[in-house]
Amino acid sequence: MTDAVTETRRKYYDTLAPQALAPLWEVLKGLVPAEPKSKFAPHVWQFAKAKPLLMEAGSLLTAEEAERRVLVLENPAMPGGSRITATMYAGYQLIMPGEIAPAHRHTASALRMVLEGNGGYTAVAGEKTPMSRGDFIITPSWGWHDHGQENQSPVIWVDGLDLHMVNFYEAAFMDHMNDKSQILTKSIGQSVAEYGSGLGPMKPHSPFGLTTPIFNYTYDRSRPALMQVAENTDPDPHLGYALRYLNPLTGDWAMPTIAAWLSHLPKGFETKAMRSTDGRSIVVLEGELTLDLDGKTFTAGESDVVAIPSWVWSRIRASKDAVFFSFSDRAAQEKIGIYREERQ
Protein backbone atom coordinates (compact mmCIF):
# COMPACT_ATOMS: atom_id res chain seq x y z
CA MET A 1 0.00 0.00 0.00
CA THR A 2 1.40 3.43 -0.94
CA ASP A 3 1.78 6.13 1.69
CA ALA A 4 -0.80 8.21 -0.17
CA VAL A 5 -3.44 5.46 0.13
CA THR A 6 -2.64 4.94 3.82
CA GLU A 7 -2.95 8.66 4.41
CA THR A 8 -6.26 8.89 2.55
CA ARG A 9 -7.68 6.04 4.60
CA ARG A 10 -6.41 7.47 7.85
CA LYS A 11 -8.13 10.76 7.08
CA TYR A 12 -11.32 8.88 6.28
CA TYR A 13 -11.13 6.95 9.58
CA ASP A 14 -10.76 10.27 11.41
CA THR A 15 -14.15 11.31 10.03
CA LEU A 16 -15.76 8.11 11.32
CA ALA A 17 -14.72 8.28 14.96
CA PRO A 18 -16.79 11.39 15.89
CA GLN A 19 -19.87 9.57 14.60
CA ALA A 20 -19.10 6.51 16.78
CA LEU A 21 -18.36 4.50 13.63
CA ALA A 22 -15.35 2.31 12.81
CA PRO A 23 -14.11 0.29 9.82
CA LEU A 24 -14.65 -3.43 10.41
CA TRP A 25 -11.91 -4.43 7.93
CA GLU A 26 -9.24 -3.11 10.26
CA VAL A 27 -10.31 -5.38 13.14
CA LEU A 28 -12.07 -8.34 11.48
CA LYS A 29 -9.24 -10.88 11.90
CA GLY A 30 -8.95 -10.16 15.63
CA LEU A 31 -12.71 -10.34 16.14
CA VAL A 32 -13.08 -13.67 14.34
CA PRO A 33 -9.93 -15.77 14.81
CA ALA A 34 -9.41 -18.98 12.82
CA GLU A 35 -9.42 -20.94 16.09
CA PRO A 36 -9.42 -20.16 19.84
CA LYS A 37 -6.19 -18.87 21.30
CA SER A 38 -6.76 -18.50 25.02
CA LYS A 39 -5.47 -15.44 26.86
CA PHE A 40 -5.22 -17.68 29.93
CA ALA A 41 -2.40 -20.00 30.97
CA PRO A 42 -2.49 -23.62 32.05
CA HIS A 43 -1.55 -23.61 35.74
CA VAL A 44 -1.52 -25.67 38.96
CA TRP A 45 -2.25 -24.19 42.41
CA GLN A 46 -0.66 -26.30 45.13
CA PHE A 47 -2.82 -26.66 48.21
CA ALA A 48 0.26 -27.14 50.39
CA LYS A 49 1.39 -23.62 49.43
CA ALA A 50 -2.08 -22.04 49.64
CA LYS A 51 -3.26 -23.58 52.92
CA PRO A 52 -0.86 -21.78 55.30
CA LEU A 53 -1.73 -18.47 53.61
CA LEU A 54 -5.43 -19.24 53.89
CA MET A 55 -5.01 -20.08 57.58
CA GLU A 56 -3.14 -16.79 58.04
CA ALA A 57 -6.19 -14.99 56.59
CA GLY A 58 -8.15 -16.90 59.25
CA SER A 59 -6.35 -14.94 61.96
CA LEU A 60 -6.38 -11.62 60.07
CA LEU A 61 -10.13 -11.25 59.62
CA THR A 62 -13.38 -13.03 60.41
CA ALA A 63 -15.60 -14.69 57.82
CA GLU A 64 -18.27 -12.14 58.69
CA GLU A 65 -15.93 -9.19 58.13
CA ALA A 66 -14.81 -10.66 54.83
CA GLU A 67 -18.36 -11.77 53.91
CA ARG A 68 -16.52 -14.63 52.19
CA ARG A 69 -12.95 -15.38 53.29
CA VAL A 70 -11.45 -16.63 50.04
CA LEU A 71 -8.08 -16.67 48.35
CA VAL A 72 -8.94 -16.21 44.68
CA LEU A 73 -7.24 -18.55 42.22
CA GLU A 74 -5.92 -15.94 39.81
CA ASN A 75 -4.88 -17.16 36.42
CA PRO A 76 -1.23 -16.00 36.23
CA ALA A 77 -1.81 -14.67 32.70
CA MET A 78 -4.32 -12.15 34.07
CA PRO A 79 -3.38 -10.88 37.55
CA GLY A 80 -6.23 -8.93 39.14
CA GLY A 81 -8.78 -10.56 36.84
CA SER A 82 -10.33 -12.83 39.53
CA ARG A 83 -10.51 -15.54 36.86
CA ILE A 84 -9.21 -19.08 36.76
CA THR A 85 -10.26 -19.41 33.11
CA ALA A 86 -11.98 -17.00 30.70
CA THR A 87 -15.47 -17.27 32.20
CA MET A 88 -14.97 -18.82 35.62
CA TYR A 89 -14.07 -17.52 39.04
CA ALA A 90 -12.51 -19.95 41.54
CA GLY A 91 -11.06 -19.73 45.04
CA TYR A 92 -10.07 -21.57 48.22
CA GLN A 93 -12.53 -20.63 51.00
CA LEU A 94 -12.04 -20.99 54.77
CA ILE A 95 -14.53 -21.05 57.65
CA MET A 96 -13.10 -21.16 61.19
CA PRO A 97 -14.82 -22.88 64.14
CA GLY A 98 -17.90 -20.99 65.31
CA GLU A 99 -17.96 -18.68 62.29
CA ILE A 100 -20.81 -17.91 59.95
CA ALA A 101 -20.42 -16.60 56.40
CA PRO A 102 -23.65 -14.57 56.34
CA ALA A 103 -26.66 -15.30 54.15
CA HIS A 104 -26.80 -13.63 50.76
CA ARG A 105 -27.92 -14.39 47.24
CA HIS A 106 -26.77 -13.38 43.78
CA THR A 107 -27.45 -14.01 40.12
CA ALA A 108 -24.22 -15.97 39.68
CA SER A 109 -24.41 -19.72 40.32
CA ALA A 110 -21.82 -21.26 42.62
CA LEU A 111 -20.40 -24.69 43.24
CA ARG A 112 -18.28 -25.96 46.12
CA MET A 113 -15.93 -28.91 46.08
CA VAL A 114 -15.25 -29.69 49.73
CA LEU A 115 -11.63 -30.36 50.74
CA GLU A 116 -11.77 -30.37 54.55
CA GLY A 117 -15.33 -30.68 55.82
CA ASN A 118 -15.15 -31.71 59.46
CA GLY A 119 -18.77 -30.88 60.22
CA GLY A 120 -19.11 -27.57 58.41
CA TYR A 121 -22.39 -26.84 56.69
CA THR A 122 -23.97 -24.89 53.88
CA ALA A 123 -27.61 -23.84 53.99
CA VAL A 124 -29.40 -23.34 50.68
CA ALA A 125 -33.00 -22.15 50.31
CA GLY A 126 -34.09 -23.32 53.76
CA GLU A 127 -32.17 -26.63 53.88
CA LYS A 128 -28.90 -27.26 55.66
CA THR A 129 -26.40 -29.80 54.33
CA PRO A 130 -23.26 -31.07 56.06
CA MET A 131 -19.98 -30.69 54.14
CA SER A 132 -17.54 -33.59 53.74
CA ARG A 133 -14.49 -34.03 51.54
CA GLY A 134 -15.45 -34.69 47.93
CA ASP A 135 -19.01 -33.37 48.24
CA PHE A 136 -20.18 -31.34 45.23
CA ILE A 137 -22.50 -28.65 46.60
CA ILE A 138 -24.48 -26.18 44.48
CA THR A 139 -25.90 -22.79 45.29
CA PRO A 140 -28.26 -22.01 42.43
CA SER A 141 -28.71 -18.59 40.86
CA TRP A 142 -30.60 -16.30 43.26
CA GLY A 143 -30.76 -18.96 46.03
CA TRP A 144 -30.10 -17.75 49.58
CA HIS A 145 -26.98 -19.37 51.07
CA ASP A 146 -24.89 -19.16 54.20
CA HIS A 147 -22.06 -21.34 55.50
CA GLY A 148 -20.90 -22.18 59.00
CA GLN A 149 -18.94 -24.43 61.29
CA GLU A 150 -20.25 -25.53 64.69
CA ASN A 151 -17.37 -27.97 65.35
CA GLN A 152 -13.81 -27.28 66.40
CA SER A 153 -11.87 -27.51 63.12
CA PRO A 154 -11.49 -25.30 60.05
CA VAL A 155 -13.55 -26.02 56.93
CA ILE A 156 -11.99 -25.51 53.50
CA TRP A 157 -13.41 -25.89 50.02
CA VAL A 158 -12.94 -24.78 46.41
CA ASP A 159 -15.53 -22.34 45.05
CA GLY A 160 -16.40 -22.12 41.36
CA LEU A 161 -18.73 -19.38 40.10
CA ASP A 162 -20.01 -18.40 36.67
CA LEU A 163 -19.87 -14.75 37.69
CA HIS A 164 -17.83 -13.58 34.69
CA MET A 165 -20.51 -14.95 32.37
CA VAL A 166 -23.18 -13.11 34.35
CA ASN A 167 -21.10 -9.92 34.42
CA PHE A 168 -20.41 -10.17 30.69
CA TYR A 169 -24.18 -9.97 30.17
CA GLU A 170 -24.35 -7.14 32.74
CA ALA A 171 -27.10 -9.10 34.45
CA ALA A 172 -25.74 -9.35 38.01
CA PHE A 173 -27.83 -8.68 41.15
CA MET A 174 -26.98 -9.31 44.82
CA ASP A 175 -29.01 -9.20 48.00
CA HIS A 176 -28.15 -9.59 51.73
CA MET A 177 -30.35 -11.02 54.46
CA ASN A 178 -30.92 -9.11 57.69
CA ASP A 179 -30.08 -12.21 59.71
CA LYS A 180 -26.69 -13.92 59.47
CA SER A 181 -28.26 -17.35 59.01
CA GLN A 182 -31.39 -18.12 57.06
CA ILE A 183 -34.36 -19.80 58.72
CA LEU A 184 -34.43 -23.53 58.01
CA THR A 185 -37.73 -24.82 56.64
CA LYS A 186 -36.61 -28.28 55.53
CA SER A 187 -34.96 -31.30 57.14
CA ILE A 188 -31.38 -32.28 56.32
CA GLY A 189 -31.37 -34.51 53.22
CA GLN A 190 -34.92 -33.59 52.19
CA SER A 191 -34.05 -32.58 48.63
CA VAL A 192 -32.07 -35.79 48.02
CA ALA A 193 -35.03 -37.81 49.37
CA GLU A 194 -37.47 -35.97 47.14
CA TYR A 195 -35.45 -35.86 43.91
CA GLY A 196 -32.37 -38.06 44.25
CA SER A 197 -33.76 -41.51 45.02
CA GLY A 198 -35.01 -42.34 41.53
CA LEU A 199 -38.28 -40.76 42.62
CA GLY A 200 -39.70 -37.30 42.04
CA PRO A 201 -42.69 -35.11 42.76
CA MET A 202 -45.88 -35.96 40.81
CA LYS A 203 -45.59 -32.66 38.97
CA PRO A 204 -41.94 -32.34 37.98
CA HIS A 205 -40.55 -28.95 38.80
CA SER A 206 -37.33 -27.68 40.31
CA PRO A 207 -37.52 -25.07 43.05
CA PHE A 208 -34.29 -23.76 41.48
CA GLY A 209 -35.46 -23.17 37.91
CA LEU A 210 -32.90 -24.53 35.45
CA THR A 211 -30.64 -25.81 38.25
CA THR A 212 -30.88 -29.30 39.74
CA PRO A 213 -33.13 -29.57 42.82
CA ILE A 214 -30.40 -31.67 44.51
CA PHE A 215 -27.79 -29.36 45.96
CA ASN A 216 -25.40 -31.80 47.60
CA TYR A 217 -24.02 -34.66 45.49
CA THR A 218 -22.17 -36.32 48.36
CA TYR A 219 -18.90 -38.16 47.80
CA ASP A 220 -20.18 -41.12 49.78
CA ARG A 221 -22.65 -41.69 46.92
CA SER A 222 -20.66 -40.52 43.89
CA ARG A 223 -17.32 -42.24 44.60
CA PRO A 224 -18.75 -45.79 44.97
CA ALA A 225 -20.81 -45.26 41.79
CA LEU A 226 -17.71 -44.26 39.83
CA MET A 227 -15.63 -47.12 41.26
CA GLN A 228 -18.27 -49.72 40.50
CA VAL A 229 -18.40 -48.55 36.88
CA ALA A 230 -14.58 -48.68 36.76
CA GLU A 231 -14.50 -52.26 38.01
CA ASN A 232 -16.76 -53.54 35.28
CA THR A 233 -16.13 -51.50 32.13
CA ASP A 234 -13.24 -50.41 29.92
CA PRO A 235 -12.00 -46.85 30.33
CA ASP A 236 -12.65 -44.27 27.62
CA PRO A 237 -9.26 -43.62 25.95
CA HIS A 238 -9.66 -39.83 26.32
CA LEU A 239 -11.53 -39.61 29.62
CA GLY A 240 -10.63 -42.67 31.64
CA TYR A 241 -13.62 -43.35 33.84
CA ALA A 242 -15.95 -40.37 34.19
CA LEU A 243 -19.49 -39.73 35.37
CA ARG A 244 -21.20 -36.40 35.11
CA TYR A 245 -23.43 -34.77 37.71
CA LEU A 246 -27.00 -34.65 36.37
CA ASN A 247 -30.16 -32.69 36.96
CA PRO A 248 -32.55 -35.64 37.55
CA LEU A 249 -35.52 -33.68 36.19
CA THR A 250 -33.99 -32.97 32.78
CA GLY A 251 -30.96 -35.25 32.32
CA ASP A 252 -28.95 -32.09 31.59
CA TRP A 253 -25.86 -30.99 33.51
CA ALA A 254 -26.68 -30.24 37.17
CA MET A 255 -26.15 -26.51 36.62
CA PRO A 256 -27.33 -24.57 33.56
CA THR A 257 -24.00 -22.82 32.95
CA ILE A 258 -21.39 -25.03 34.63
CA ALA A 259 -20.63 -28.62 33.66
CA ALA A 260 -19.27 -30.83 36.46
CA TRP A 261 -18.03 -34.39 36.43
CA LEU A 262 -16.03 -36.89 38.49
CA SER A 263 -13.18 -38.92 37.00
CA HIS A 264 -11.07 -41.88 37.99
CA LEU A 265 -7.79 -42.92 36.38
CA PRO A 266 -6.12 -46.08 37.64
CA LYS A 267 -2.40 -45.73 38.45
CA GLY A 268 -0.38 -45.64 35.22
CA PHE A 269 -3.36 -44.90 32.95
CA GLU A 270 -2.73 -42.06 30.51
CA THR A 271 -5.49 -40.42 28.47
CA LYS A 272 -5.05 -39.78 24.77
CA ALA A 273 -4.69 -36.12 23.79
CA MET A 274 -7.82 -34.02 23.44
CA ARG A 275 -8.76 -30.36 23.43
CA SER A 276 -12.08 -28.61 23.84
CA THR A 277 -13.44 -25.08 23.80
CA ASP A 278 -14.47 -25.05 27.46
CA GLY A 279 -12.26 -23.52 30.13
CA ARG A 280 -11.80 -26.36 32.60
CA SER A 281 -10.68 -26.52 36.22
CA ILE A 282 -9.73 -29.74 38.01
CA VAL A 283 -9.68 -30.40 41.76
CA VAL A 284 -7.66 -33.50 42.66
CA LEU A 285 -9.38 -35.50 45.39
CA GLU A 286 -7.22 -38.63 45.52
CA GLY A 287 -3.82 -39.63 44.18
CA GLU A 288 -1.67 -37.63 41.82
CA LEU A 289 -1.86 -36.49 38.19
CA THR A 290 0.85 -35.67 35.69
CA LEU A 291 -0.61 -33.41 33.02
CA ASP A 292 0.75 -32.56 29.62
CA LEU A 293 -0.87 -29.23 28.69
CA ASP A 294 0.14 -27.88 25.29
CA GLY A 295 3.47 -29.70 25.64
CA LYS A 296 4.28 -28.49 29.16
CA THR A 297 4.34 -30.91 32.10
CA PHE A 298 2.50 -30.20 35.37
CA THR A 299 2.02 -32.29 38.51
CA ALA A 300 -1.07 -32.02 40.73
CA GLY A 301 -1.60 -33.82 44.04
CA GLU A 302 -4.47 -33.98 46.53
CA SER A 303 -6.48 -30.73 46.87
CA ASP A 304 -4.42 -29.03 44.15
CA VAL A 305 -6.36 -27.16 41.45
CA VAL A 306 -5.50 -27.20 37.74
CA ALA A 307 -6.59 -24.67 35.09
CA ILE A 308 -6.92 -25.96 31.51
CA PRO A 309 -7.93 -23.03 29.28
CA SER A 310 -9.88 -23.34 26.03
CA TRP A 311 -8.36 -25.32 23.15
CA VAL A 312 -5.25 -26.41 25.06
CA TRP A 313 -4.18 -29.97 24.19
CA SER A 314 -4.30 -32.10 27.32
CA ARG A 315 -3.10 -35.57 28.26
CA ILE A 316 -3.61 -36.68 31.84
CA ARG A 317 -1.72 -39.52 33.49
CA ALA A 318 -2.32 -40.95 36.96
CA SER A 319 1.02 -41.28 38.71
CA LYS A 320 -1.01 -42.74 41.63
CA ASP A 321 -4.58 -44.12 41.55
CA ALA A 322 -6.53 -40.88 41.06
CA VAL A 323 -10.00 -39.44 41.57
CA PHE A 324 -10.62 -35.86 40.47
CA PHE A 325 -13.45 -33.37 40.03
CA SER A 326 -13.76 -31.16 36.95
CA PHE A 327 -15.89 -28.10 36.27
CA SER A 328 -16.10 -25.97 33.15
CA ASP A 329 -18.27 -23.58 31.15
CA ARG A 330 -19.19 -26.43 28.77
CA ALA A 331 -22.86 -26.44 29.91
CA ALA A 332 -23.25 -22.80 28.83
CA GLN A 333 -21.34 -23.35 25.58
CA GLU A 334 -23.59 -26.31 24.69
CA LYS A 335 -26.71 -24.23 25.31
CA ILE A 336 -25.60 -21.60 22.81
CA GLY A 337 -24.37 -24.27 20.41
CA ILE A 338 -20.66 -23.43 20.28
CA TYR A 339 -18.98 -26.24 22.24
CA ARG A 340 -16.38 -28.17 20.23
CA GLU A 341 -13.78 -30.79 20.99
CA GLU A 342 -11.07 -32.62 19.11
CA ARG A 343 -9.61 -36.00 20.01
CA GLN A 344 -6.36 -37.57 18.80
Binding site for ligand 1HN (CB under 6 A): 68, 70, 89, 91, 93, 101, 106, 110, 145, 147, 159, 161, 163
Smallest gap from residue 213 Cβ to ligand 1HN (A): 19
Q: Which among 162, 157, 104, 111 has a CA at the least distance from the CA of 138?
A: 111
Closest residue to ligand 1HN, judged by C-beta, is 68
* Closer residue to ligand 1HN in complex, CB, 110/230: 110
CA dist 108 and 90 (Å) reads 13
What is the phi/psi pair of residue 223, to 5°?
-65, -50
* Closer residue to ligand 1HN in complex, CB, 155/289: 155
* Closer residue to ligand 1HN in complex, CB, 130/235: 130
* Closer residue to ligand 1HN in complex, CB, 45/311: 45
* Closer residue to ligand 1HN in complex, CB, 157/217: 157
- For residue 55, the surrounding DSSP H or E stretch is helix 47-60
Smallest gap from residue 110 Cβ to ligand 1HN (A): 6
CA 253 and chain centroid, separation: 13
**Buried residues in 251-266 as b, exposed as e (16+ CB within 10 A):** ebbbbbbbbbbbbbbe
Smallest gap from residue 182 Cβ to ligand 1HN (A): 12
Smallest gap from residue 41 Cβ to ligand 1HN (A): 21
Q: Cβ(130)–Cβ(188) under 8 Å?
A: yes
Q: Backbone dihedral region of 129: left (phi > 0), alpha (psi from -120 to 50 degrees) or beta?
A: beta
Smallest gap from residue 280 Cβ to ligand 1HN (A): 19
Q: Which among 265, 302, 326, 323 has a CA at the least distance from the CA of 156?
A: 302
